[in-house]
Structure 1
Amino acid sequence: MTVAIRSAIPFRTWPIVAAGMLVAIAVGAALVGRLAGIGTVAVPVSPPVQAVELVFSDHRDGSIRVADAADSRLVLTVPSGEGGFMRGVMRGLARDRKMRGLGPDLPFRLERRENGMLILLDPATGREIALGSFGPTNLEAFSQLLPTKDGST
Protein backbone atom coordinates (compact mmCIF):
# COMPACT_ATOMS: atom_id res chain seq x y z
CA MET A 1 0.00 0.00 0.00
CA THR A 2 1.34 3.41 -1.01
CA VAL A 3 0.48 6.44 0.99
CA ALA A 4 0.73 9.78 -0.71
CA ILE A 5 1.30 12.71 1.57
CA ARG A 6 0.34 15.96 0.06
CA SER A 7 0.96 19.33 1.64
CA ALA A 8 -1.93 21.70 2.00
CA ILE A 9 0.42 24.60 1.22
CA PRO A 10 1.94 24.46 -2.26
CA PHE A 11 5.74 24.82 -2.27
CA ARG A 12 7.05 27.45 -4.61
CA THR A 13 10.74 27.59 -5.45
CA TRP A 14 10.90 31.10 -6.89
CA PRO A 15 11.05 32.91 -3.49
CA ILE A 16 14.04 30.79 -2.46
CA VAL A 17 15.80 31.36 -5.77
CA ALA A 18 15.10 35.11 -5.55
CA ALA A 19 16.44 35.30 -1.98
CA GLY A 20 19.57 33.39 -3.00
CA MET A 21 20.14 35.73 -5.92
CA LEU A 22 19.68 38.76 -3.65
CA VAL A 23 22.30 37.44 -1.21
CA ALA A 24 24.70 36.66 -4.06
CA ILE A 25 24.29 40.16 -5.53
CA ALA A 26 24.86 41.79 -2.11
CA VAL A 27 28.01 39.76 -1.45
CA GLY A 28 29.27 40.45 -4.96
CA ALA A 29 28.65 44.21 -4.62
CA ALA A 30 30.46 44.28 -1.27
CA LEU A 31 33.42 42.40 -2.76
CA VAL A 32 33.65 44.72 -5.78
CA GLY A 33 33.38 47.78 -3.52
CA ARG A 34 36.09 46.50 -1.21
CA LEU A 35 38.51 45.60 -3.99
CA ALA A 36 37.88 48.77 -6.02
CA GLY A 37 37.75 51.09 -3.00
CA ILE A 38 34.23 52.26 -3.85
CA GLY A 39 32.37 53.61 -0.85
CA THR A 40 35.36 53.40 1.48
CA VAL A 41 36.87 56.23 3.47
CA ALA A 42 40.63 56.54 3.74
CA VAL A 43 42.46 59.16 5.76
CA PRO A 44 45.58 60.21 3.87
CA VAL A 45 48.82 59.75 5.76
CA SER A 46 50.06 63.09 6.99
CA PRO A 47 53.74 63.61 7.83
CA PRO A 48 54.74 64.46 11.41
CA VAL A 49 55.63 68.08 12.15
CA GLN A 50 56.51 67.52 15.80
CA ALA A 51 57.55 64.36 17.64
CA VAL A 52 59.00 63.25 20.93
CA GLU A 53 60.02 59.83 22.22
CA LEU A 54 58.80 59.13 25.74
CA VAL A 55 59.33 56.51 28.41
CA PHE A 56 56.44 55.86 30.81
CA SER A 57 57.14 54.24 34.17
CA ASP A 58 54.92 53.21 37.08
CA HIS A 59 56.10 53.89 40.60
CA ARG A 60 55.28 52.43 44.01
CA ASP A 61 53.32 55.49 45.11
CA GLY A 62 50.90 54.89 42.19
CA SER A 63 52.23 57.75 40.11
CA ILE A 64 53.27 57.57 36.46
CA ARG A 65 56.43 59.35 35.44
CA VAL A 66 56.95 60.38 31.84
CA ALA A 67 60.50 61.08 30.70
CA ASP A 68 62.00 62.22 27.42
CA ALA A 69 63.83 59.21 25.98
CA ALA A 70 66.56 61.38 24.46
CA ASP A 71 67.86 62.90 27.68
CA SER A 72 65.89 61.18 30.49
CA ARG A 73 64.48 64.58 31.48
CA LEU A 74 61.27 64.30 33.50
CA VAL A 75 58.42 65.66 31.41
CA LEU A 76 55.43 64.94 33.63
CA THR A 77 54.43 63.14 36.80
CA VAL A 78 50.83 61.94 36.94
CA PRO A 79 49.85 61.53 40.61
CA SER A 80 48.05 58.45 41.85
CA GLY A 81 44.33 58.57 41.10
CA GLU A 82 44.67 61.11 38.26
CA GLY A 83 45.14 60.83 34.51
CA GLY A 84 42.69 57.97 33.99
CA PHE A 85 42.73 58.24 30.19
CA MET A 86 46.52 58.26 29.98
CA ARG A 87 46.71 55.34 32.41
CA GLY A 88 44.19 53.35 30.36
CA VAL A 89 45.95 53.93 27.05
CA MET A 90 49.37 53.10 28.43
CA ARG A 91 48.04 50.03 30.27
CA GLY A 92 46.63 48.71 26.98
CA LEU A 93 49.90 49.29 25.13
CA ALA A 94 51.92 47.70 27.96
CA ARG A 95 49.61 44.65 27.94
CA ASP A 96 50.16 44.30 24.18
CA ARG A 97 53.93 44.40 24.67
CA LYS A 98 53.75 41.87 27.49
CA MET A 99 51.66 39.46 25.39
CA ARG A 100 54.36 39.64 22.69
CA GLY A 101 57.15 39.07 25.20
CA LEU A 102 58.49 42.61 24.87
CA GLY A 103 59.76 44.70 27.74
CA PRO A 104 58.99 48.30 28.69
CA ASP A 105 62.45 49.61 27.76
CA LEU A 106 61.65 50.86 24.24
CA PRO A 107 60.19 54.38 24.17
CA PHE A 108 56.83 55.34 22.73
CA ARG A 109 56.62 58.05 20.08
CA LEU A 110 54.13 60.92 20.29
CA GLU A 111 53.62 62.79 17.01
CA ARG A 112 51.65 65.82 15.95
CA ARG A 113 50.89 65.41 12.27
CA GLU A 114 50.66 68.10 9.59
CA ASN A 115 46.86 67.68 9.54
CA GLY A 116 46.72 68.41 13.30
CA MET A 117 46.21 64.81 14.45
CA LEU A 118 48.01 63.62 17.57
CA ILE A 119 49.22 60.03 17.25
CA LEU A 120 50.77 57.78 19.89
CA LEU A 121 52.92 55.07 18.31
CA ASP A 122 54.45 51.98 19.84
CA PRO A 123 57.48 51.17 17.66
CA ALA A 124 57.85 47.80 19.43
CA THR A 125 54.44 46.51 18.31
CA GLY A 126 53.55 48.82 15.43
CA ARG A 127 50.33 50.01 17.10
CA GLU A 128 49.13 53.56 16.47
CA ILE A 129 46.47 55.37 18.46
CA ALA A 130 44.81 58.50 17.08
CA LEU A 131 44.31 60.38 20.33
CA GLY A 132 41.92 62.96 18.89
CA SER A 133 39.31 60.24 18.55
CA PHE A 134 38.71 60.32 22.30
CA GLY A 135 37.67 63.96 22.63
CA PRO A 136 39.44 67.25 23.43
CA THR A 137 39.90 66.61 27.15
CA ASN A 138 41.64 63.30 26.56
CA LEU A 139 43.64 64.79 23.69
CA GLU A 140 44.94 67.47 26.05
CA ALA A 141 46.24 64.79 28.42
CA PHE A 142 48.80 63.76 25.81
CA SER A 143 49.33 67.06 23.96
CA GLN A 144 50.87 68.51 27.14
CA LEU A 145 53.73 66.03 26.64
CA LEU A 146 54.87 67.70 23.41
CA PRO A 147 57.40 70.50 23.69
CA THR A 148 56.05 73.99 23.10
CA LYS A 149 57.63 76.43 20.64
CA ASP A 150 60.04 77.68 23.32
CA GLY A 151 61.23 74.09 23.91
CA SER A 152 59.51 73.50 27.24
CA THR A 153 56.79 70.92 27.88
Structure 2
Amino acid sequence: MPAEPKFRHDPDKDLIPRPLLLAMGALVLVSLALVSYARLTGRETVGRPEPSQIVAERVISISGDKNAVTVRGATGEVLVDLENGGFFAVIRDGLSHTRRVHRIAMDKPVRLQRYANGRLVVHDPETGWSIELTAFGENKAAFARLLPE
Protein backbone atom coordinates (compact mmCIF):
# COMPACT_ATOMS: atom_id res chain seq x y z
CA MET A 1 0.00 0.00 0.00
CA PRO A 2 1.53 3.34 -1.02
CA ALA A 3 2.06 5.99 1.64
CA GLU A 4 -0.37 8.87 1.69
CA PRO A 5 1.07 12.05 0.24
CA LYS A 6 1.84 14.75 2.75
CA PHE A 7 0.30 18.10 2.02
CA ARG A 8 2.58 21.01 2.62
CA HIS A 9 1.79 24.65 2.54
CA ASP A 10 3.66 26.29 -0.28
CA PRO A 11 3.57 30.10 0.14
CA ASP A 12 4.39 30.55 -3.54
CA LYS A 13 1.06 28.94 -4.44
CA ASP A 14 -1.18 31.17 -2.29
CA LEU A 15 -4.19 32.33 -4.27
CA ILE A 16 -4.55 35.52 -2.24
CA PRO A 17 -1.34 37.12 -1.05
CA ARG A 18 -1.06 37.67 2.71
CA PRO A 19 -0.56 41.48 2.43
CA LEU A 20 -3.81 41.73 0.47
CA LEU A 21 -5.68 39.74 3.13
CA LEU A 22 -4.29 42.03 5.82
CA ALA A 23 -5.30 45.11 3.82
CA MET A 24 -8.85 43.77 3.39
CA GLY A 25 -9.09 43.07 7.13
CA ALA A 26 -7.84 46.58 7.90
CA LEU A 27 -10.45 48.05 5.54
CA VAL A 28 -13.20 46.18 7.38
CA LEU A 29 -11.95 47.39 10.78
CA VAL A 30 -11.59 51.01 9.64
CA SER A 31 -15.09 50.94 8.11
CA LEU A 32 -16.53 49.53 11.32
CA ALA A 33 -14.73 52.20 13.38
CA LEU A 34 -16.02 55.03 11.17
CA VAL A 35 -19.62 53.80 11.23
CA SER A 36 -19.47 53.24 14.99
CA TYR A 37 -18.09 56.74 15.56
CA ALA A 38 -20.79 58.32 13.39
CA ARG A 39 -23.51 56.36 15.13
CA LEU A 40 -22.27 57.05 18.66
CA THR A 41 -21.82 60.78 18.08
CA GLY A 42 -25.26 61.15 16.50
CA ARG A 43 -23.95 62.39 13.16
CA GLU A 44 -26.72 63.26 10.72
CA THR A 45 -27.20 60.84 7.85
CA VAL A 46 -26.13 62.07 4.44
CA GLY A 47 -27.01 60.82 0.99
CA ARG A 48 -30.73 61.07 1.59
CA PRO A 49 -32.83 63.23 -0.69
CA GLU A 50 -34.04 66.54 0.66
CA PRO A 51 -37.64 66.43 1.87
CA SER A 52 -40.00 67.82 -0.74
CA GLN A 53 -43.68 67.88 -1.57
CA ILE A 54 -45.31 65.61 -4.13
CA VAL A 55 -46.41 67.69 -7.13
CA ALA A 56 -47.70 64.88 -9.37
CA GLU A 57 -48.77 61.33 -8.61
CA ARG A 58 -50.34 58.44 -10.46
CA VAL A 59 -51.42 55.04 -9.21
CA ILE A 60 -50.16 52.34 -11.59
CA SER A 61 -49.95 48.56 -11.79
CA ILE A 62 -46.97 46.90 -13.45
CA SER A 63 -47.38 43.37 -14.76
CA GLY A 64 -45.94 41.11 -17.39
CA ASP A 65 -43.94 38.01 -18.08
CA LYS A 66 -40.22 37.82 -18.87
CA ASN A 67 -39.48 40.93 -20.98
CA ALA A 68 -43.10 41.81 -21.83
CA VAL A 69 -44.56 44.55 -19.63
CA THR A 70 -47.98 46.11 -19.24
CA VAL A 71 -48.49 49.24 -17.15
CA ARG A 72 -52.07 50.08 -16.24
CA GLY A 73 -53.61 53.13 -14.61
CA ALA A 74 -55.83 53.15 -11.52
CA THR A 75 -58.97 52.40 -13.56
CA GLY A 76 -57.32 49.60 -15.54
CA GLU A 77 -56.56 51.56 -18.70
CA VAL A 78 -53.42 50.40 -20.49
CA LEU A 79 -50.73 53.08 -20.35
CA VAL A 80 -47.83 51.03 -21.70
CA ASP A 81 -47.83 47.62 -23.40
CA LEU A 82 -44.43 46.48 -24.65
CA GLU A 83 -43.06 43.15 -25.88
CA ASN A 84 -39.62 44.25 -24.68
CA GLY A 85 -40.28 46.30 -21.56
CA GLY A 86 -36.67 47.40 -21.08
CA PHE A 87 -36.47 49.71 -18.06
CA PHE A 88 -40.09 48.98 -17.12
CA ALA A 89 -39.15 45.28 -16.86
CA VAL A 90 -36.20 46.10 -14.61
CA ILE A 91 -38.42 48.04 -12.20
CA ARG A 92 -41.07 45.30 -12.34
CA ASP A 93 -38.45 42.67 -11.48
CA GLY A 94 -37.24 44.66 -8.45
CA LEU A 95 -40.81 45.16 -7.26
CA SER A 96 -41.63 41.51 -7.89
CA HIS A 97 -38.67 40.34 -5.81
CA THR A 98 -39.60 42.59 -2.89
CA ARG A 99 -43.22 41.50 -2.97
CA ARG A 100 -42.24 37.84 -3.18
CA VAL A 101 -40.09 38.29 -0.04
CA HIS A 102 -43.04 39.94 1.75
CA ARG A 103 -45.51 37.40 0.31
CA ILE A 104 -47.65 40.06 -1.33
CA ALA A 105 -49.37 39.58 -4.70
CA MET A 106 -48.15 41.58 -7.70
CA ASP A 107 -51.66 42.76 -8.61
CA LYS A 108 -51.65 45.55 -6.03
CA PRO A 109 -50.81 49.02 -7.41
CA VAL A 110 -47.80 51.23 -6.74
CA ARG A 111 -47.47 55.00 -6.78
CA LEU A 112 -45.45 56.92 -9.33
CA GLN A 113 -44.55 60.26 -7.73
CA ARG A 114 -42.82 63.44 -8.88
CA TYR A 115 -41.54 65.75 -6.16
CA ALA A 116 -41.10 69.53 -6.28
CA ASN A 117 -37.29 69.12 -6.22
CA GLY A 118 -37.38 67.02 -9.44
CA ARG A 119 -37.16 63.55 -7.92
CA LEU A 120 -39.14 60.79 -9.62
CA VAL A 121 -39.99 57.78 -7.46
CA VAL A 122 -41.91 54.52 -7.71
CA HIS A 123 -43.22 53.76 -4.22
CA ASP A 124 -44.87 50.54 -3.09
CA PRO A 125 -47.17 51.30 -0.15
CA GLU A 126 -47.61 47.57 0.55
CA THR A 127 -43.94 46.92 1.41
CA GLY A 128 -42.42 50.39 1.85
CA TRP A 129 -40.10 49.67 -1.10
CA SER A 130 -39.26 52.58 -3.34
CA ILE A 131 -36.84 53.33 -6.10
CA GLU A 132 -35.46 56.69 -7.16
CA LEU A 133 -35.87 56.76 -10.93
CA THR A 134 -33.85 59.96 -11.14
CA ALA A 135 -30.72 57.87 -10.52
CA PHE A 136 -31.20 56.10 -13.86
CA GLY A 137 -30.57 59.04 -16.17
CA GLU A 138 -32.53 58.97 -19.41
CA ASN A 139 -34.45 55.85 -18.40
CA LYS A 140 -36.52 57.92 -15.99
CA ALA A 141 -38.17 59.60 -19.00
CA ALA A 142 -40.05 56.36 -19.70
CA PHE A 143 -41.87 56.73 -16.39
CA ALA A 144 -41.99 60.54 -16.44
CA ARG A 145 -44.24 60.39 -19.54
CA LEU A 146 -46.87 58.55 -17.46
CA LEU A 147 -47.37 61.53 -15.13
CA PRO A 148 -49.56 64.53 -15.92
CA GLU A 149 -47.65 67.77 -16.49
What TM-score results when the alignment is normalised by the length of structure 2?
0.68
SS of residue matched to 2:139: helix
Other-structure match for 1:73: 77
Aligned residue in 2 for 1:13: none
Paired amino acid for 2:106: P
Structure 2: distance between partners of 1:111 and 1:67: 15
The equivalent of 1:122 in structure 2 is 124
Question: Contact 1:46–1:113 (CA<8 Å) still a contact in 2?
Answer: yes
CA RMSD of aligned residues (A): 2.6
Q: Which residue of 2 aligns with 1:97?
A: 99
Matched with 1:63 is 68
- Does the residue aligned with 1:36 lie in a helix, a strand or coil? coil
Alignment of 1:132-151 (within 5 A): 132-135=134-137, 137-148=138-149
Please list every run of 5 or more consecutive structure 2 residues that lacks an aligned counterpart in the other structure: 1-28
Q: Would you say the 8 A contact 1:55–1:108 is kept in 2?
A: yes
CA distance in 1, matches of 2:48, 2:71: 33
Distance 1:133 1:57, change over 3 A: same
The answer on whether the counterparts of 2:63 and 2:92 sit within 8 Å (CA) in structure 1 is no
Instruction: Give the corresponding residue for 1:131.
Output: 133
Q: TM-score, normalised by structure 1?
A: 0.67
* Stretches (4+) displaced over 4 A: none
Give CA deviations for 1:57-106 in whole Å, capped at 9, x if unaligned: 2169x63221111x22221212x12x322201111111210122110121
Number of residue pairs the alignment of both structures matches: 119
Which one has the largest radius of gyration? 1
CA contact (8 A) 2:98 2:129 kept: no
- Consecutive unaligned residues of structure 1, counting only runs of 5 or more, are 1-22, 149-153
